[in-house]
Amino acid sequence: MDKLKMQTPDRTRENIDRIAQLFPNVITESHDENGNLKRTIDFGLLRQQLSDVLVEDDNERYRLDWPGKKASLLKANMPVTKTLRPCREESVNFDITENLYIEGDNFEVLKILQESYLGKIKMIYIDEPYNTGNDFIYKDNFTVSKDEYEEVIGVEDEKGGKLFRNTDSNGRFHSDWLSMMYERLVVARDLLQDDGVIFMSIDDGEVGNLRKLGDQVFGDMNFIANVIWQKKYTRANDARWFSDNHDHLLCYAKNKNDVKLNMLPRNSDQLAAYANPDNHPKGKWKATPLHAKSGSNTSAYTFSNGITWKPPQGTYRRFNDATMKQMDEGNEIWYGADGSQTPSRKSFLCDVKDGVTPVTIWPYDEVGHNHEANSELKLLDLGGLFDNPKPTRLILRTLVLATGPNDITLDFFSGSATTAHAVMQLNAEDGGNRKFIMVQLPEQTDESSEAYKAGYKTIADIGKERIRRAGKKILQELKEKSQQTKLGEETTVPDKLDIGFRVYKTDTTNMKDVFYHPTGLQQSVLGSLTSNIKEDRTSEDLLTQVLLDLGLELSLPIEKKNIHGNNVFIVQTNALVACFDDDIDFKIIDEIADLQPMKVVFKDASFKDDKDRINVEERFKRLSPETRITVL
């Protein structure tokens, strides 16, 4: 029973709670006047969160610190001027698919997607670099080999940045990795829905740091589980200490109170325990004890057939007399086929939950193992091209637990694109329309590798090809299954399965420097800048940047029409209409206005002078007054 506080609200605590919702990484602990720990704000981090310059603060407190942490947070909050450019020739079903594959540095991509996908991602899965020290170091937002990186402590690069050896002794080995992860997780958190979750794969090497990092970014109150995945089914007898047979999956929520994970379906062994030997009208059941290990009632109970039952010594009754009578009258007590067994309760399948609650240990026979992951690539004729892929069944389980049929899943360390494969597979199984966004750095493959010899110049090339082949395989299996379906059975319609993806690649902005820095240009070059748009950019390039700037999803349907000789893009019926031709025919204005679009975008060069622009504005005011008009 709650008690009245009999005092005015503690506004300080309420304000801390509000700040925790916005910036969970600034919540820390300190001692009050009595020496007791209390929840408080790390004002140094909060100032950094709200500042566009580096804030100096040397106060010690309970938190995970490392060299470069504040610079990483500063970077996470700074804008980027990069954009995405569509690549139709590498896409599959570009015009109708809702899936995305984005090539580029994942930090830049996350920043680019911030407006369009703010609070829209239901699940993030990442299999980030484990920081094993195998001849790689992490420098800001890209990976380089040691041969390309100065290893002498104290040396500065051409921009004055300090360079350090990638060794355990100087702290940079972990610090670079932490900075790389921190800035990405800070941005990624904002993309999650309020009821969204993130799964992060990691091994024992950095699991401690990643757990602390997750606590800071998402808040320790939003930690859900540390899942242990049995990644191997054999032991290494040549291991020096222990045979390493597991990895971790750290799961955090955006807001744990809003999260409701799905149940896992019961497996065949669990379902086999239920039967209906007495043809009970409620259906299948299994016998469960009437006694429990705890309680207070040890009295006997006499059933209607005259049998008296008493809980075994040291145990207690599960149910009171009224419930026992109700079960007795409903034929829900089982005495065995011959009526001679100790009475037990019939637990009906229809009365229990639709599935089972997941546990934190996932054995390989349920979710796959490393060997299975490699075998999956071999079945797609991609065997041996990728190191340490994850099995599809592992990602399938996270999707089953955390997503609904229409949710978006993001993987910004896409690698071999197992997550995309799993999304398509689950949609084929349950008829869902989940969407995926894969992000992968186009890291070059080694010239001596099997991948390079097979024609795959980058990791991204392997991932895209894996999605193409996996999609075709899943679609073919679905068609075969639908042909074998008996009358009355349900199956996913093959034509509705989305196995396509739109490819986008990061690039510099479409706009010339004059668009962003006009004061930095000399008068002598202004005459050559007849357009503020770079010459090598297409109308689809411009459309993509407009979608991102306006906060519209890149997966929206896009229709291209030729109206009175002008190329016009119509996005999702009337969400956006855009025309980037230099000289527009004013006849198209009325037709565009008839669509009652929410937004219309033209190039500044589309108008000969200010008079034409004013005429367009007046026309829309009369025909479609709610339309917002913008020019590039």
3-state SS, 342-387, equals CCEEEEEHHHCCCCECCCCEECHHHHCCHHHHHHHHHHCCCCCCCC
Instruction: Please tell me the pTM assigned to this model.
Output: 0.80
pLDDT band at 411 (very low <50, low <70, confident <90, very high): very high
Q: Output the six-digit token pair for 143.
A: 């990976």
* Number of helices (H), then strands (E), in the chain: 19, 26
Under 8 Å between Cβ of 605 and 613: no
CA distances, 35 to each of 30, 31, 38, 598 (Å): 9, 5, 9, 58
Q: Where are the alpha helices (DSSP H) in 192-310?
A: 207-218, 268-272
d(CA 537, CA 540): 8
Share the mean pLDDT of the chain.
Answer: 84
Under 8 Å between Cβ of 63 and 472: no
Per-residue pLDDT, 631: 85
Structural domain spans, the chain = 1-58, 83-265+363-504, 268-351, 524-631
> Could you tell me what percent of the chain has a pLDDT over 90?
43
pLDDT digits (tens, 9 = 90+) for 298-310: 899 999 888 898 8
Do strands 502-507 and 83-86 pair parallel, antiparallel, or not at all (unpaired)? Answer: antiparallel
User: DSSP assignment, residue 520?
Assistant: G
What residue has token string 């002008």? 566
Per-residue pLDDT for 517 more than 90? no
d(CA 145, CA 444): 12
Looking at 100-109, 240-249, 413-422, 530-539, which range is the least confident one? Answer: 530-539
Per-residue pLDDT for 6 more than 50? no
Mutual angle of helices 610-623 and 587-594, in 10-degree steps: 30
d(CA 227, CA 120): 25
d(CA 424, CA 470): 8
d(CA 451, CA 291): 61
Q: How many CB atoms lie within 10 A of CB 478?
A: 23
pLDDT band at 134 (very low <50, low <70, confident <90, very high): low
3-state per-residue secondary structure call for 531-572: CCECCCCCHHHHHHHHHHHCCCCCCCCEEEEEECCEEEEEEC
Per-residue pLDDT, 60: 64
Residue 7 CA to its chain's centroid (Å):
43
CA dihedral 399, 405, 408, 414 (to 10 degrees): 40
Per-residue pLDDT, 57: 65
What residue has token string 């004059």? 514
Do strands 223-230 and 100-103 pair parallel, antiparallel, or not at all (unpaired)? Answer: unpaired
pLDDT band at 422 (very low <50, low <70, confident <90, very high): very high
Looking at 157-166, 208-217, 239-248, which range is the least confident one? Answer: 157-166
Q: Of 614, 575, 613, which is closest to residue 596 (Cα–Cα)?
A: 575
pLDDT band at 163 (very low <50, low <70, confident <90, very high): very low
More confident residue, 387 or 152: 387
Per-residue pLDDT, 350: 79
Fold of 83-265+363-504: Rossmann fold (3.40.50)
Per-residue pLDDT for 252 more than 60? yes
Per-residue pLDDT, 438: 97
Q: Output the six-digit token pair for 208.
A: 């401690």
pLDDT band at 164 (very low <50, low <70, confident <90, very high): very low
pLDDT band at 465 (very low <50, low <70, confident <90, very high): very high
Query: What's at 195, amino acid-wise?
Result: D
Under 8 Å between Cβ of 102 and 91: no
What residue has token string 């921190």? 182
Residue 440: what are its φ and ψ, rounded to 5°? -145, 130
pLDDT band at 190 (very low <50, low <70, confident <90, very high): very high
pLDDT band at 9 (very low <50, low <70, confident <90, very high): low
Tell me the DSSP string of 75-112.
HHHS----EEEE-GGG-BSTTT---EEEES-HHHHHHH
Looking at 16-20, 95-99, 275-279, 528-532, which range is the least confident one? Answer: 528-532
Per-residue pLDDT, 166: 40
Q: Output the six-digit token pair for 249.
A: 């999956």
3-state per-residue secondary structure call for 376-400: HHHHCCCCCCCCCCCCHHHHHHHHH
Do strands 121-126 and 576-579 pair parallel, antiparallel, or not at all (unpaired)? Answer: unpaired
Segment (H or E) for 138:
strand 136-139
d(CA 85, CA 506): 6
CA dihedral 153, 155, 160, 161 (to 10 degrees): -30
pLDDT digits (tens, 9 = 90+) for 90-124: 999 999 999 999 999 999 999 999 999 999 999 99
pLDDT digits (tens, 9 = 90+) for 38-54: 788 888 888 888 887 77
Under 8 Å between Cβ of 148 and 444: no
Tell me the DSSP string of 445-487.
PPTTSHHHHTT--BHHHHHHHHHHHHHHHHHHHHHHHHHHPPT
